[in-house]
Structure 1
Amino acid sequence: ADKHARELQALKDAHDKHAKGMELAAESHATVEERINYVEKLLGDSADKHARELKALKAAHDKHSEDVADLKGAHAHHASIPERMAYVEQLLGDSADKHAKELQALKDAHAKLAAAHGKHAKDVDGLKALHQHHATIGERMDYMEQLLGDSADKHARELQALKDAHDKHA
């Protein structure tokens, strides 16, 4: 009987130990409701984060749309190539009468300018080849306007020098 009492006590102790272990395990495991609440919180946080990111993306898109509209507006205000050409033609036409009077002096300087023109043509061809893939039409127009201005200034100086030399010898 003593043996049975010890075995019974050992079984009771083992049962109590097992019951306490089960109780601890039940306490440490989250309930289904707690798990659902946790998953809902994660989904809510994720949805909030995505909503903020979507709002930021829409704001960036709106900013880019405004920038594109500003660029289009700025582009519309720039003089077109036909307008620029008309302006250059007008400048050339206005000075045609003056140039007609000075034509004889320019013919004397023609030989010198022909050599310079050949050099300029080579330089222009070299620059065109160099900048063919990089220069925009606007940059090319700016360059040509500068060449015309420099050439006109040079012609005016040479013409004045020829006139001075002519006046000196006359």
Structure 2
Amino acid sequence: MSESAAYLAEGPRVALRHFSHADADEFTARARESRTLHHPWLFPPEQPTAYASYAGLLIDDPTRVGYLVCERSDDRIAGFININNIVGGGFLCGALGYGAFAHAAGRGLMSEGLDLVMDQAFGPLGLHRLEANIQPANEASIALVRRAGFRLEGYSPDFIYVNGAWRDHERWAITTEMRH
């Protein structure tokens, strides 16, 4: 584990920690290695300068929280799960963004990581609801949230601009009550 990072939560195989600027080299290398896995759904930063901007938002913007999902055995970054667009008041909701890295895909590490993130969201962050907006053909992403107990709530045509076009998305969500 990097000297500046401490685990926020631990499961049997993974642990969560916040993004740091010191993670730029590993994160961008893993993003480059995972380009085929991510395309056409996701485009995490592949260069240190892009990572600095990306991580800066997750570190400095109070409406976002970023988590690195790390393998406990060697602290390698397996993936990331961010809670974006956090709204307080009567809403208490955030929108998830996430991705596994190729070396970790299909091993259940992101499921374990998402469970830990939901503990953070519904515990210390005090949220009531998490949403995930997913392109309908992204079967792996849909399977992840379905396993975690999210329910399909709707369909939004031309919802998010991804890879040069407005893409349709399914809206999945979970509330704190659904976890108990």
Give the number of the structure with larger relative contact order, counting CA–CA contacts within 8 Å between residues 6 or more apart.
1
Higher relative strand content: 2
TM-score (norm 1): 0.19
- Pick the structure with more helix per residue: 1
TM-score by length of 2: 0.19
In terms of Rg, which structure is larger? Answer: 1
